Amino acid sequence: MKDKKIRFIVVLLLILAVGIAGYMLYKHKNVQEQVPQAPVFGEGELKDGYIPHMPVEDRERLAKQKMDATMFTSSADAAGYVKNGLDVSYNISNVPQNKFPFYFTVSVDGKEYYRSPLIPPGKRMDSFKLEEPLKPGVYRASVMLNVLDENNNPVGARELIIKLVSE
């Protein structure tokens, strides 16, 4: 009788050990599948700026230059003030650290009231004249900044929502 109990316990322990080993193998396999793999490129194929025979340091430098060139910072007031329905007092600048110029448009309720000339890095505007008069009131206006590269191709845009007060 004692011999049967020992056999039963040994068989039970073997089954438990096999179950634990199976679970550990399953878990290990799933962890390996979750590890992201490096992208594989075909011979001579280019993917998003990848240059197959360029050293890693050069590729990283080019990627940083590309990213730095598209970084854009502006300085702008949160509100603009309109006198006589047309003359706007509003400060907006293209900081010297930017690489590209921008122009901006001012719209109220989807209607464009002003389009600026190009503002190069390091320059600012502090006033302009609307194309159509704006009736007295307080408006929620959209100031859309459009960034252009050296060939006047768009490279980015940013929308600012401002308060526009017309007297």
pTM of full prediction above 0.75: no
Look at the block and give the residue holding tokens 């056999």.
7
- Is residue 77 domain-resident? yes
Pick 157 or 165 by higher pLDDT.
165
- Is residue 91 domain-resident? yes
Mean pLDDT of 15-37: 65
Is the pLDDT score of 43 beyond 60?
no
Cα 39 versus chain centre, distance: 22
Count of domains in the chain? 1
pLDDT digits (tens, 9 = 90+) for 44-92: 444 555 555 677 787 777 777 666 666 788 889 999 999 999 999 999 9
Is the pLDDT score of 30 beyond 60?
no
Q: Which domain holds residue 112?
A: 67-166
- Is residue 87 domain-resident? yes
Is the pLDDT score of 41 beyond 50?
no
Torsion of CA 147, 111, 126, 104, to 10 degrees: 0
- Is residue 80 domain-resident? yes
pLDDT value of position 69: 61
Is the pLDDT score of 40 beyond 90?
no
Is the pLDDT score of 37 beyond 90?
no
Is the pLDDT score of 28 beyond 70?
no
Closest CA to 118 of 145, 142, 141: 145
Closest CA to 116 of 134, 127, 162, 71: 127
- Is residue 157 domain-resident? yes
CA quadruple 9, 11, 14, 16: dihedral positive or negative? negative
Pick 16 or 46 by higher pLDDT.
16
- Is residue 12 domain-resident? no
The span from the CA of 42 to the CA of 97, in Å, is 38
Instruction: Assign 61 to helix, strand or coil.
Output: helix
Tokens of 22: 């199976």
pLDDT digits (tens, 9 = 90+) for 81-136: 999 999 999 999 999 988 889 999 999 999 999 999 999 999 999 999 999 999 99
The CATH number given to whatever domain includes residue 100 is 2.60.40.2550
